[in-house]
Every structure is written in C-alpha cells, then in structure tokens.
Amino acid sequence: MSEASVGPAALSVAPGSVLVVESGEGLFKQYLLDGRHQFFADEPVQAGGTDAGPNPYELLLMSLGACTAMTLRLYARRKQWPLERVAVRLRHARIHAEDCAECETKTGLVDRIECEIELSGPLDAAQRTRLMEIAEMCPVHRTLTSEITIQSRLARGSPA
C-alpha cells in the first residue's frame, strides 16, 4: 500500500522534518505534513490542479512573510516598541536580468520577490527604519539570499 493511499493521518514524520506526499486526488494535490500539522499544496485549476491549497511559490512567499512578521514582532517586543500590527504582502515574478540593476546575473531570467511591509502603531521614523533593516535579517530571508545546496537522493526501499 502506498503512503498516498493510506492518507495523511497514518504517516509519521520525524521531528524537524516535513513530508510531502501525493494525495492521489487530482494531478498535483499534495499532503504537506510536519508531524503536528497537515494541509495541502496544489496548482490552480487553469494549471491542471484542483486549487485545494497554495501553489509551491505561494508557500515559499508565505514562509518568507511569516518569518519576516515574526522576526519584526520579536524585535519590537524585545525593544518594547509600540508595534501594533505587521502585515507583509509578497509577490514573486521572473524578470529579465538586464532589467535588474542590482543583480549579478546579466542574462536570462532572475527570480524577484517583492516584499511590502506595513507597520502599524505609533512608531517613530527611526524605529520604522530599524524594523525595515531587521526584516532583511529574518532567517528565511537570509536563507533565500545566501548560497543554498539541495542534496536529493533516492529513498531506501524505493523500487528500482
């Protein structure tokens, strides 16, 4: 019996890991599990999915936005600044490298994430400036802007 056919409740996930398993429903619908939570990723109907959850790029943007907001909240709390609310709006696009003045790559396409941060509360200009600096220090932002290696391997026990 495959993992997908038993459903997400029967799957175990080691602490600190996530598991992504095809749901068996539709072409792209995936179970996303971390051992405590489960939800779906999918593609929109126009891309052949069932739109049962965010697409992979939306999940990436959500991760960055959540980390940014949490980092700002933690910093403002530690400084006892009057930050009432953080809202982070993100958008992903692929742009031509020659249209990107700050990019090292000069040919082909470059991924661009636009991040708009709304800081509510009676903060002064210096506090807002510092919070914008802190936003770029959130762990996910630092991961996405640093060198990344991804090591993929075939799982033990996979049929040949």
Q: What is the pTM of this model?
A: 0.85
The pLDDT of residue 4 = 44
The pLDDT of residue 94 = 85
Is the domain spanning 56-144 CATH 3.30.300.20? The answer is yes
Residue 19's contacts (CB-CB under 8 Å, 6 or more residues apart) are 11, 13, 31, 32, 33, 34
Q: Answer yes or no: are the C-beta atoms of 112 and 148 closer than 8 Å.
A: no
Q: Is the pLDDT of residue 144 over 50?
A: yes
3-state secondary structure of 132: helix
**Mean pLDDT of the region 8-24:** 86
Max Cα–Cα distance, the chain, nearest Å:
62
Tell me the Ramachandran region of residue 69: left when phi exceeds 0, alpha when psi lies from -120 to 50, beta otherwise. Answer: alpha
List the chain domain ranges.
Answer: 3-47, 56-144
Q: Is the pLDDT of residue 2 over 50?
A: no
